[in-house]
């Protein structure tokens, strides 16, 4: 089973097999918002 495990994606601790926002209700939306914020921060760091 080790070969099946992949390092966490841009979502951080979220498992790569679980797409962002797949969780129902507020948790999924919060995860999407958090990911968008992280991406924006990374883009700002690259620009600066």
pLDDT digits (tens, 9 = 90+) for 37-47: 777 888 888 88
The structure tokens listed for 41 are 């921060």
> Domain limits of the chain?
23-48
Higher pLDDT pick, 21 / 47:
47
Which among 46, 6, 5, 14 has a CA at the least distance from the CA of 32?
14
Are 39 and 10 in contact by the 8 Å Cβ rule? The answer is: yes
Secondary structure of 25-40 as H, E, C letters: CHHHHHHHHHHHHHHH
The set of residues, in sequence order, having a beta carbon less than 8 Å from that of 10 and lying 6+ positions away, is 35, 38, 39
The structure tokens listed for 48 are 């600066």
pTM, two decimals, is: 0.30
Higher pLDDT pick, 25 / 44:
44
């Amino acid at each position: 089973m080790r070969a099946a495990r992949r390092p966490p994606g841009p979502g951080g601790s979220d498992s790569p097999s679980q797409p962002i926002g797949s969780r129902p209700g507020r948790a999924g939306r919060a995860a999407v918002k958090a990911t968008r914020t992280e991406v924006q921060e990374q883009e700002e760091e690259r620009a600066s």
